[in-house]
Structure 1
Amino acid sequence: MISWFARNPVAANLLMLFVIFMGLLSLNNRIPLEIFPDVSLNSINIQVRLRGSTPQEVEQGITIRIEEAVQDLSGIERITSRSQEGVAEIFLEVDAATDERDLLADVKTRIDALNTLPEEAEKPVIHLRERRREVITVAVSSQYGERETREIADQIRDQLLSLSGITRVELDAAAKYEIAIEIPNDNLIQFDLNLDQVANSIRNSSLDLSGGNLKHVGGEIFLRSTGQAYTKRDFENIIIKQGDGGALIRLKDIASIQDGFEESRAIMRFNGQPAIFLQVYQVGDQNAIEIATQVKSFLEQRQASLPEGVFLDYWRDRSRVVHKRLQTLVNNALLGGVLVMALLSLFLRPGVAFWVFLGIPVSFMGAFILMPLFGVTFNVVSLFAFILVLGIVVDDAIVTGENIYTHLKKGEPGVEAAIAASTP
């Protein structure tokens, strides 16, 4: 192969130009830039909540029963679980030879057919485990209350999602909204009620129902009752029962209703102030450095329009790691090229130095062409490999160039010298 290209320089030059062109095209359009390589975790997660229950109750009532329901499925390599206060988590490790999505469908079928879970348990959440590729964290801190800060954080999240190239932004460890209903025992006695009756009334009144459809000449009309309660006022107006005189007893007549947040065990602060954090993720082939740049620019512009006492900032910018690796690779490549040109021009010939120097970027362009075909991206691992290989390429180029020059000094023709020096 070397001898054929050495004797056919036109084909060799055309191939070199093709490699350079395709390499640049692939570099600009086809190779994603991320922080760590995307790997499959081969795991299925199952989560079931049973509010107000102890870890022992969760284990006996949920965890063990789900494990027994799925343990004989083919493709499960290992089952691990964690039973905590109010929640059960089961992790199924999938065998490498098994299709994750087929097994996920089988797991859902088994759990849907399970009728021994406690009635109070929420619907199981079953999904494939995925590695979230965080890029940058946005901190929203303020001097106001928790609700005001949360509303501002929700606005910032929606505005970030509206930016081009950002498709996933999530609140990190933020307390969930909660409607707390407290009923004094005296009120239950006064109105001849118990907690089960109140709970059933709320459950049956706070829901959306389909009423079917009506057909007529102009088409179909779909009927739907929208009674789902979301706010404090919605819950206050739920009818619990009808009194002896026909008066309606509503929830607000017997209970104290608080529209707030779940009690959280964590206290989130940034620069000494209460804060809510937004995680910005990379999805698919998105560029991590471009995402971080967009977020920083948005925060700088948005800060000017926020009320006094509200602050936007960022931290844990993981794209900096990739950026520094890229800088290291580029600097080493430039330094290596300068050294090759200087040393070979000084001790050999400038012509030899130029072609040896040209071989370094051409070899890298060949790698850029193949990277998308094998699903390889620019990340801290692949960039570290490029930095290591750069030294090998430079050393080999110098050795090959010097060997060719040695054969030329012996009086061999240029083509024969190149073939003899490049083949074992």
Structure 2
Amino acid sequence: MIPHNSKSARERFNISKLAIQFSWVTLSFWIAVTVAGLLAFSSLKYALFPDVTFPVVVVNASAPLTTALDTEAKLTVPVEMRLRELPGLDDIRSSSYPGQSVVSLAFAVGTNLEKSTKEVETRLKQVSLTEGASYKVIPLNLNESAAISYAVESDDRNLTDLSKQTKEQIVPAIANLPGVLKVSLLGAPVDVTPEASIPTGGATLVRFNGKDALAFQVIKRGDANTLEVVSLVEKEVKKLQSNLKDIKLTLAATQAEYIRNATQSTIDALIEAIALSVVVIFPFLWNWQATFISALAIPVSMLGTFIVMALFGFNLETITLLALALVIGSIVDDAIVDVENIMRHIQDGESPRRAALLATNEIGLTVTAATFTAVAVFLPIGLMGGAIGQFFKPFGITVSAAMLTSLLVARTLSPVLALYWLKPTSSRPPRQTSNIGASFNRLYRDLLGWSLNHRRIVMGLAALSLIAGIALIPLIPKGFIPKLDRGEFNIVYTAPLPNVSELEKQGNELLGSLLGEEQSPLPTPYSPLPSFNPLNDSLEVAKKLEEVVRKSPAVETVFTTVGSREGEPNKGTLYIKLKDKRAIATLELQEQFRTSLPNLAGVTTSVEDIPFVDSGGQKPLQVALQGNDLKALNTAAKAIKDKLVKIPGFADVTVTGETNPQDTIFQIERLNNQRVTYISANLGKELSLGDATDKLVAIAKSVIPPGVTLDLGGDSASVNTVISSFGTTLAMSALCIIAVLIWLFRSWVDPLVIGVSLPLAIVGALLALLITKSDFGMISLIGFVFLLGISNKNAILIVDYINQLRDTGLNRTAAILKAGPVRLRPIMMTTAATILGMLPIALGLGAGSELRTPMAVAIAGGLISSTVLSLIVVPVLYTLMDDLFPRFQRRGGEGQGERGRKK
């Protein structure tokens, strides 16, 4: 409802008058923005995802202890107790083995890793550990990830010589490059000292394509750009290779190639979205000048957005590029509405200057209200906290910046250009619309008239469609992040650790026989077998897995690392790179390997996707059974696993400690100071994350005994976190929308009418997800947020114009029947531009399309339903609300021309 002082409100938001009055200042300002935007764009870097910092500190402790129970009691628990009150600590996990403890401390996003590491070291000095214990503190910024790895091979040199030359000539050259944090040498020969029966601190062995090799892994700085670092490393390696005649450096692993392909595909979709959005305008306007003025809003608004992105330090990555691609239709919306309104006044006989002033004054409040309500949705997204907030901050800020810039373009640049480029129609016959358009207008007016006379039927159908949409929710698969066909994946394995006490016994016997019968063996704690190295046993496992993997014709390279960076020698990873030209999808080959990999005694294998962020090797589905009774935990976990493996879709189901021999405990897991047993699984293509979580929880609840509790982890926990965070943020966004509309319309009735378009958008979005079999997850959720921001534009256009016409003295019905058809053209133009802008993304072409498609599908489906329904439902609801709260009463007795003429 426009207030009594509506003219002053419109004047307040009509900056177009000033822009037209000082047209050269306006043009100079936008020329400056264009130049600054080009400079800002050149400074932006490409990446796969936003820079999200996950600080982790690992404490790797060892002591001459022979059982996992002793290790837990004398190493793990004292360390945990001293560290559990650390500031910023999110959770604390630990694994206890005979003689070794690995305690992992995960801190809140944004916590200073260096400061936390020093605090850990300080507190550990105050812990009284068992005799002979030692520990190492390993800080891990998970954003300081491996950017690229190279295998180092030679036909003439052994590994020791090769290691020496690599350390002296290759590592220093790479380590000095900008953006490189460190270069890790993998596979270098390790001497195991008698003081440590299990090598710690990240000792590794490496194989490349079935042969023993060395490798160096380039770890980028947390704030460095992956593509820039990789580019510098590639150039340096090329230079080094020319000087190292008998050493071959071969690319072993990198995410850079996929990042390049994915960002390029998104940029292609963005360019196609711009082209389609522009193409759709001309058939509505039939005027090249008007089309060009509207289309010009896109590049100018984007250049303004690049300035904001550069100021915030954002990258051109999947989320921000998606934000730009999705907002294309909305960017052009404001300009279309302004230019279309100016054209309408010119076609009615006004001069270009007069038309520009009248049209911008008439539409200014409407366009401003529509944009402000959209920004009211996206800004809270940009201000979310925690890990989710860091991930979505670039999206919220980028969309908000694009929309505010486009509003400024539409209110200043577009009317000034219209003033100079749009000509009066007196010299030529007006061509307002095609015959098809005129017929469509008449059809809509007739339908609108029928709807006003059958309000109950219309509202009943609207309510039914909303109920039907909500009923679709259980039918849509729930996910987190869609699986990507990246052409690469990992096979992760865990081999059993040897029984240390048995090895020590054998070592004593061997030493006794060597020293003579009269010599007594050395005391057990000081006599481990010097040659014992579990890396060798783990290596044998890797070789057997490699043998099967390398037989596949789709596999290009296999890069094997034995030993983890946390210093666990029984763990290893095979990085599989597939050929570009292959007859099988990544997902299908993963399924094949799950059935063809050998079943090795005590060995667990897992075929896993490359993680977006290396968060410690968690599988998508993970639950923790918590309790103090190890036997009860293990029995319940085994019972759950036995049931899960029989259900299609659950893959690589593992239970921690399941490889322990009967009545022997080799491994004890703890989570937040309590014993746990983890049940983890990967998911096949026939099972969504949501369904899998529901099935697992149902089975667990039927099995777990008293004293054992269930705790979700992995992506299942992430989904809950995302939905919870978004729920709170959407509630804030809805309140912001209402506040903005009440502020602009000075009434709560019209904002309520406008708000009806929001649930109407959900119907089409859910139906589109169901038809395209897209998951309802984090990515599609962004689509729903986007819908919330843009779907009320059409309703604002209609309601505001109805009010303007009623202010001139028209009765309610006449105002509605005039406002609907007049606003039909800009509504159809903006909707068509936005939907066509979504089309390249919705089609799912190029690398990373699985990420983009659900979002575009949800938005396109929601826009169709909200547009179709709001064109009819909003005017009908307007009349119903006006019956309950008559407009002239809301205006304090104004609107006398309407008194007694509501119908």
Residue 305 of structure 1: aligned partner: 243
Residue 174 of structure 2: aligned partner: 160
Indicate which of 256, 259, 266 corresponds to 1:319.
Answer: 256
How big is the shift at 1:391?
4.4
Residue 414 of structure 1: aligned partner: 356
Pair 1:64 & 2:66 matched:
no
Q: Which has the higher contact order (CA 8 A, sep 6+)?
A: 1
Root-mean-square deviation (CA), in Å? Answer: 3.6
**More displaced 10-residue stretch of structure 1: 150-159 or 326-335:** 326-335
State how far apart, in whole Å, the 2-side matches of 1:419 and 1:134 are.
56
How big is the shift at 1:24?
2.4
Q: 1:341 to 1:312 in 2, by over 3 A?
A: same
How big is the shift at 1:318?
1.6
SS in 1 for 2:307: helix
How big is the shift at 1:111?
1.8
State how far apart, in whole Å, the 1-side matches of 2:100 and 2:132 are.
12
How big is the shift at 1:360?
0.9
TM-score by length of 2: 0.34
Q: 1:285 to 1:25 in 2, by over 3 A?
A: farther
Q: 1:149-178 CA distances to partner (integer Å, 9 max, x unpaired)? A: 323432322221234x24234326434642
Residue 247 of structure 1: aligned partner: none
Q: 1:349-372 CA distances to partner (integer Å, 9 max, x unpaired)? A: 222222222211222222222224
Q: 1:287-329 CA distances to partner (integer Å, 9 max, x unpaired)? A: 3323222322333343333234x32121433223332344234
User: Is the 8 Å Cα contact of residues 169 and 281 (structure 1) preserved in structure 2?
Assistant: yes
Residue 294 of structure 1: aligned partner: 232
SS in 2 for 1:168: strand
Q: 1:197-246 CA distances to partner (integer Å, 9 max, x unpaired)? A: xx9xxxxxxxxxxxxxxxxxxxxxxxxxxxxxxxxxxxxxxxxxxxxxxx
Residue 229 of structure 1: aligned partner: none
Q: 1:319 to 1:396 in 2, by over 3 A?
A: farther
Identity level (%): 26
Indicate which of 116, 123, 133 corresponds to 1:121.
Answer: 133
Q: Which runs of 5+ in 1 are unaligned?
A: 182-198, 200-260
Residue 292 of structure 2: aligned partner: 354
State how far apart, in whole Å, the 1-side matches of 2:119 and 2:189 are.
31
State how far apart, in whole Å, the 2-side matches of 1:400 and 1:319 are.
43
How big is the shift at 1:53?
5.4
User: Is the 8 Å Cα contact of residues 51 and 121 (structure 1) preserved in structure 2?
Assistant: yes
State how far apart, in whole Å, the 2-side matches of 1:352 and 1:285 are.
44
Residue 151 of structure 1: aligned partner: 164
State how far apart, in whole Å, the 1-side matches of 2:65 and 2:335 are.
69
Q: 1:265 to 1:6 in 2, by over 3 A?
A: same
SS in 2 for 1:316: strand
User: Is the 8 Å Cα contact of residues 71 and 101 (structure 2) preserved in structure 1?
Assistant: yes
User: Is the 8 Å Cα contact of residues 108 and 126 (structure 1) preserved in structure 2?
Assistant: no
State how far apart, in whole Å, the 1-side matches of 2:55 and 2:211 are.
40
Residue 145 of structure 2: aligned partner: 133
Residue 22 of structure 1: aligned partner: 36
Q: 1:54 to 1:141 in 2, by over 3 A?
A: farther
How big is the shift at 1:63?
0.8
State how far apart, in whole Å, the 1-side matches of 2:120 and 2:203 are.
33
User: Is the 8 Å Cα contact of residues 50 and 120 (structure 1) preserved in structure 2?
Assistant: yes
**More displaced 10-residue stretch of structure 1: 396-405 or 381-390:** 396-405
State how far apart, in whole Å, the 2-side matches of 1:367 and 1:36 are.
18
TM-score by length of 1: 0.67
State how far apart, in whole Å, the 1-side matches of 2:322 and 2:99 are.
44
SS in 2 for 1:28: helix
State how far apart, in whole Å, the 2-side matches of 1:150 and 1:21 are.
51
State how far apart, in whole Å, the 2-side matches of 1:74 and 1:295 are.
37
State how far apart, in whole Å, the 2-side matches of 1:272 and 1:59 are.
38
**Matches for 1:191-270 after TM superposition, within 5 Å:** 268-270=206-208
- Amino acid across the alignment from 1:416: L
SS in 2 for 1:125: strand
- Amino acid across the alignment from 1:34: A
Pair 1:109 & 2:109 matched:
no
User: Is the 8 Å Cα contact of residues 297 and 332 (structure 2) preserved in structure 1?
Assistant: no
SS in 2 for 1:62: helix
SS in 2 for 1:137: strand
- Amino acid across the alignment from 2:103: I
Q: 1:123 to 1:315 in 2, by over 3 A?
A: closer
Q: 1:77 to 1:294 in 2, by over 3 A?
A: closer
SS in 2 for 1:170: strand
SS in 2 for 1:351: helix
State how far apart, in whole Å, the 2-side matches of 1:366 and 1:34 are.
21
Residue 36 of structure 1: aligned partner: 49
User: Is the 8 Å Cα contact of residues 90 and 107 (structure 2) preserved in structure 1?
Assistant: yes
Pair 1:88 & 2:93 matched:
no
How big is the shift at 1:277?
2.5
User: Is the 8 Å Cα contact of residues 180 and 229 (structure 2) preserved in structure 1?
Assistant: no
More helix by share: 2
How big is the shift at 1:339?
4.2
Q: 1:337 to 1:378 in 2, by over 3 A?
A: closer
User: Is the 8 Å Cα contact of residues 149 and 275 (structure 1) preserved in structure 2?
Assistant: no
State how far apart, in whole Å, the 2-side matches of 1:105 and 1:400 are.
59
Indicate which of 260, 276, 282 corresponds to 2:220.
Answer: 282
User: Is the 8 Å Cα contact of residues 93 and 103 (structure 2) preserved in structure 1?
Assistant: yes
User: Is the 8 Å Cα contact of residues 47 and 89 (structure 1) preserved in structure 2?
Assistant: yes
Q: 1:103 to 1:311 in 2, by over 3 A?
A: closer
> How many residues in Structure 1 have an aligned counterpart in Structure 2?
341
State how far apart, in whole Å, the 2-side matches of 1:266 and 1:282 are.
20
